Homo-oligomer: A and B are copies of this chain.
Amino acid sequence: MAVQKLPLAKAINESLRKALETDPKVLIMGEDVGKLGGVFRVTDGLQKDFGEGRVIDTPLAESGIVGTAIGLALRGYRPVVEIQFDGFVFPAYDQIVTQLAKMHARALGKIKMPVVIRIPYGGGIGAVEHHSESPEALFAHVAGLKIVSPSTSSDAYWMMQQAILSDDPVIFFEPKRRYWDKSEVDPEAIPGPLHKARVALSGSDLTLAAYGPMVKVCLEAAAAAAEEGKSLEVLDLRSISPIDFDTVQTSVEKTGRLVVVHEAPVFYGSGAEIAARVTERCFYHLEAPVLRVGGFHAPYPPARLEDEYLPGLDRVLDAVDRSLAY
């Protein structure tokens, strides 16, 4: 593969292909990942090239998928599991939080659990119920899991490589409404650490922190704010557990203001943890309370309301204004 512009979905596809080529222990598992290539075509062509033994169409049972992936990992394999949509991960929740997350500790380190769980997540594609959710906080509270979400094709490619190489279970939240966004991937690049945040845009007046699908919205908000003469710094957190608080702290010590943006409901969401910890770390630097922009405490609404529900440019700018007003 040469340096090229790729849609985010295709970047993941290329990353999976590379992993399958490099390590015979890597497996792809999930519903419809074979001939169909997954409902978003992220595994397109992989079964054709690597066979049914490496790219495995599974029975329709998420607990079974994750549970057998655990067994395969115990046997020395490195399964990359696809959950078809965010809202369908819950049948596997028990296996993820009581088994996958805890097995390494339970065995006092004698077992490793190199399992990646890919979950297309978030809204914005006009889907029916259960196809637009952002459940990351429900996993981040659980020790033993690492949770990441890329926002660019390059990160999608490299973070997937790193997730597969990790000896810990990684939940890989893929921003499904960005699957078709193209950006550059350099397959020869040397990636930074998996759990390090990235300063997506430098600024001085206020920090916007986001991950996955919301990074783009924040960059657009920053561009709009710039026209009004406000200089926003945008952080792409990339990792939801752990969170790179050092990078956030550095930024907030500079700007004095933080707005956290995510699609997931605000109540008990990742913004809460970020607000709490950053306030503790930067108490004397903060000119305003950390503000949060996110989903409401309500089920993800029907598609015709999702543009209201999802944090957009204006809601981010509204929070920016409120923060700057302190």
Give me the interface of A with B, judged by CB distance under 8 Å.
63, 87, 90-91, 93-94, 97-98, 101-102, 105-106, 129-130, 137-138, 140-144, 241, 264-265, 267-273, 275-277, 279-280, 283, 288-292, 296-299, 326
Contact = CB atoms under 8 A, between A and B. Distances in A.
Contact of A299 (B93, B143, B268, B288): B143
A290 B299 contact: no
Contacts of A268: 137, 140-141, 241, 268, 270, 272-273
A218 to B, nearest CB: 19
Contacts of A272: 268, 272-273, 275-277
Contact of A141 (B137, B288, B290, B296): B137
Nearest to A129: B106
5 interchain residue pairs of minimum CB distance: A90-B94, A275-B276, A141-B268, A272-B272, A93-B93
Contacts of A105: 298-299
A102 B297 CA distance: 12
A106 B98 CA distance: 30
Given A90-B94, A93-B93, A283-B288, A297 B143 contact: yes
A87 B290 CA distance: 33
Contacts of A265: 141, 143
Given A105-B299, A280-B291, 4 more contacts: A90-B94, A106-B129, A272-B273, A276-B290
